[in-house]
């Protein structure tokens, strides 16, 4: 459930990209990316609360996930400074 906080933060944000969440979350596979309209955050949170299978899927997908900032920075540098 530790990763659920990030998903909830992402859903409640008015900013469509909190710390590169689109690069970290594969929506419907390891998390939910929802729209920032009035109803989407509610619908996404409701799904997380009501669908145990979805929560379990996200938990399994995120087990062992490591976000490697150095690897991300290296990729960015390769694109910007080939």
Domain coverage including residue 74: 4-80
**Under a CB-based contact definition with an 8 Å cutoff, are residues 69 and 14 in contact?**
no
The per-residue pLDDT for range 8-28, each reduced to its tens digit, is 545 554 444 445 566 677 888
pLDDT of residue 71 exceeding 90, the answer is no
The pTM (predicted TM-score) of the whole model is 0.56
pLDDT above 90 covers a percentage of the chain that reads: 9
Domain count, the chain: 1
The per-residue pLDDT for range 52-63, each reduced to its tens digit, is 999 899 888 888
pLDDT score for 18:
45
pLDDT score for 7:
52
């Amino acid at each position: 459930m530790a990763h659920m906080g990030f998903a909830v933060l992402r859903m409640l944000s008015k900013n469509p990209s909190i710390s590169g969440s689109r690069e970290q979350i594969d929506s419907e596979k390891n998390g939910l990316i929802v729209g920032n309209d009035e109803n989407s955050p509610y619908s996404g949170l409701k799904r997380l609360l009501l669908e145990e299978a979805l929560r379990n899927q996200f938990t399994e997908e995120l087990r062992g996930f490591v976000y490697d900032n150095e690897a991300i920075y290296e990729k960015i540098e390769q694109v910007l400074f080939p």
